[in-house]
Structure 1
C-alpha cells in the first residue's frame, strides 16, 4: 500500500467549495451520491496515491447518500477525517459505512426540521413582513445577514467535522437544534399573524374574510389529513374564489 498523502489547506478548500454542488447531479438511484463523490475526489486522490487503493475507497461513495445540503460540509469533513485514519490503517474501512448508514439520515431529519421547516420559513416571513411594511433595506440587510450566517455555519461545521471526526457528533447533539426548531415554529406562527394584520383588507366584511379563511383551512385539511385529490381541491379553490368575488361584486 502506498503512503497516504497529506490533506493541505488547498485540498480542504477545494473540497469545501465542491460541497455547494452536492445537489447538482441528483439521481433517483443514488440521490446525492454523485455530488458527494465530487466533493470527496480531491481528498481521496491525496490520501490514496495508489490507483488500486483509490478504487477501493471510491466504492464507499457509490452507495445512496442523501441529507440536508446545509449538513453536507459537516459530513464531508467527518468523512475526510475518517478516510485519513483508514488510509493509515488506524480504522477499518467498514467504520465509514457504519457512520453513513446512521448519521447521514439522522442529520437529514434534523436539517429538514430546523433549516427547512423552521429557519428558512422564519427568513421568508420576516422578509415578507418587512417588505409589506415598506422596509426594503431592512429586508435586504436581514437576507444578507442570514446568508452570511448560514455560510459561516457551513464553514465552521466543515472544520469541526474534519478536526474532531466522529467525535464532532457529540458537539452537534449538544446544540439541541430540534428544540430550537420548535421554538422558531412558535415564532413563525406569531410572524404569520403579524403578516395577516399588515395585509388585512380594511374595507372587507369580517364575515366574508372569515369564510374565506375557513375555506382555505378546510382545503388544507382535506389535502393533508384526508388525502383528497389535489387537482380536485385546486378546482374547488378556484370555484370558491370566483364565488367569493361574485358576492363582493
Structure 2
C-alpha cells in the first residue's frame, strides 16, 4: 500500500477502489452482469498504477468484459487484480494470462460464495433471528444482526488488505480456510435451527411419536427428491397437505 507511481501513492487510490466495491452490483446488466460495477471499482487503482494514458486505456478495457462473482468477494477480487496490474506494469506478469486468471478466480470464488455465504451463512442468520424473535429475545436478535453486519465489513477489509499485500499468494491461504466444509457444517446447524422453530411453533403439547413419525416422513420425502424419483414441486405440495392435516385433525 506504500508503493508509489511517480509522485502518487497507491494507498489512497486503493482505498477508493475498496469503497467502490460496495457498488459492484449496482450496474448489473444482462450482457456483462457485474462488469460495470467492477470496472468502476477498479478505476481509481488503475489510474494510480498507470501514468501512460495509452496503458491506462488498455487496462480499463481489460475490466469492461463479462464479469460475475459473489458480491462479498468483490473487495478481494478487486485487490488481487490491482496487485496483478502492478505486476503487469512492471513486466512481472504476462498480460495475456489475465483473462484466464480473472475468469477462473471469479467463478471459483462465486461458487464458494454462493454455497457458504448465500446458501449457509445468510440462512443461519435468518433462522437464528427467527428463533430469537419467537423466544421474545428482540434485543438479542438485533445484536445478532449488527454483529454479523460488522463481521462482514471486517471480512471485506481483511480480504482486501490481504489481496493487495499478498496478491495471488493469498488464494493459497484462502484455500486452507476450508470454507466449503464450514458451509456444510453451517447447513447442519441450520437444520437444528429449523427444528427449534418447529418446537416453538408446535400448536399442542409435544408427542414423541409425532416427532418420530414426522422425521420418518420428511426423511422419506428428502430421499425421493434426492434420488430424483419425485419432482420437488410435488413433494412441496405433499408437505403442505400434511401440515394442514396435522393442524386440523
Range of TM-score over shorter length = 0.7 to 0.9
1:160 to 136, 150, 162: 162
Please give the secondary structure, in 2, of the residue aligned with 1:27.
Answer: coil
Indicate if the aligned counterparts of 1:223 and 1:233 stay in contact, CA closer than 8 A: no
**How many Å apart are 1:223 and its aligned residue?**
11
Say if 1:24 and 1:170 are closer, same or farther in 2 by CA, change over 3 A.
same
Partner of 1:97: 99
Q: Distance in 2 between matches of 1:172 and 1:50?
A: 34
User: For the Cα contact (< 8 Å) 2:221–2:235, is it kept in 1?
Assistant: no
Aligned mates of 1:181, 1:132 — CA distance in 2: 25
What is the alpha-carbon distance in structure 2 between the residues aligned to residue 224 and residue 36 of structure 1? Answer: 40
Alignment of 1:19-30 (within 5 A): 19-30=21-32
Q: Structure 1 residue 101: deviation in Å? A: 2.1
Q: Does 1:33 align with 2:35?
A: yes
Pair 1:69-2:100 in alignment = no
User: Which residue number in structure 2 is paired with residue 79 of structure 1?
Assistant: 81
Residues 33 and 64 of structure 1 are in contact (CA less than 8 Å); yes or no, is this contact kept in structure 2?
Answer: yes
The residue number in structure 1 matching 2:139 is 137
Structure 1: 5+ residue stretches without partners: none
Distance in 1 between residues matched to 2:18 and 2:185, nearest whole Å = 31
Distance 2:205 2:90 in 1: 73
Question: How far 1:47 sits from its partner (Å)?
Answer: 1.5
Which residue of structure 2 aligns with residue 124 of structure 1?
126
Instruction: Name the stretch that deviates more: 197-206 or 104-113.
Output: 197-206
Moved more, 198-207 or 127-136: 198-207
TM-score (norm: length of structure 1)? 0.83
Whether the aligned pair in 1 keeps the contact of 2:42 and 2:82 (CA below 8 Å) is yes
For residue 241 of structure 1, report the CA deviation from its aligned partner: 8.9
- Provide the C-alpha distance between the structure 1 equivalents of 2:83 and 2:188, rounded to a whole number of angstroms: 38
Whole-angstrom distance in 1 between the partners of 2:230 and 2:97: 42
Asked if 2 retains the 8 angstrom alpha-carbon contact of 1:5 and 1:47, the reply is no
Change (3 A) 1:118 1:90: same
Distance in 2, Cα, partners of 1:57 & 1:188: 44
Aligned length: 244
Distance 2:194 2:231 in 1: 26
Which deviations, in whole Å up to 9, do the C-alpha atoms of 1:127-180 show, x marking residues without a partner?
000000000000011111111001100000000000011111011011110111
